[in-house]
Amino acid sequence: MRKVLTYGTFDLLHYGHINLLRRAKKLGDYLIVGLSTDEFNAVKHKEAYHSYENRKLILEAIRYVDEVIPEKDWNQKISDVQNNDVDVFVMGDDWKGKFDFLKDYCEVVYLPRTVGISTTKIKQDLFTIKNG
């Protein structure tokens, strides 16, 4: 079985997230998503609209996702790859080169982001609507 691993906050789920998860799943048989915990988001100075528990529940309902694990810090990726027997690590191409250190442990793939959509854009649009 070929295992794939990706990470993210996956807040305000949108079709860009689904495209990424669908394409990641096509690279293997089993997709693991490392989901940023609320505590880790705070370290990154990010605030998710939904709690970790609710984002996990949403991800687990997506047919492309086989397993969700907590992402608690930047340095866990090597151990996650090793402990889960991961064959392919996948991230959006806006992270290109940032995870090349994992090439010693598995294949690293950077997928193009879906044009025209992002959680940041959704939050900005909602703020504009709310504040006129």
pLDDT along the chain (132 residues), means of 10: 97 89 98 98 92 97 98 97 98 95 98 78 72 73
- pLDDT at position 129, please? 77
pLDDT, residue 113, reads 87
Number of domains comprising the chain:
1
Predicted structure pTM score: 0.90
For CA atoms 60, 57, 4, 25, the dihedral sign is positive
Measured CA to CA in angstroms, residue 64 lies from 19, 33, 39, 113 at distances of: 10, 10, 26, 17
Residue showing tokens 């703020």: 127
Which residue segment(s) compose the domain that 52 sits in? 3-128
The pLDDT value recorded for residue 43 is: 95
CATH number at residue 90: 3.40.50.620
Residue 23 burial (10 A CB sphere; 0-12, 13-18, 19+):
middle
Tell me which of 44, 72, 96, 98 is the catalytic residue: 44
- Selecting among 3, 25, 26, 46, the annotated active-site residue is 46
Active-site annotation holds for 121: no
Examine the residue annotation and report whether 44 is marked as an active-site residue of this protein.
yes
* Residue 125: predicted pLDDT: 67
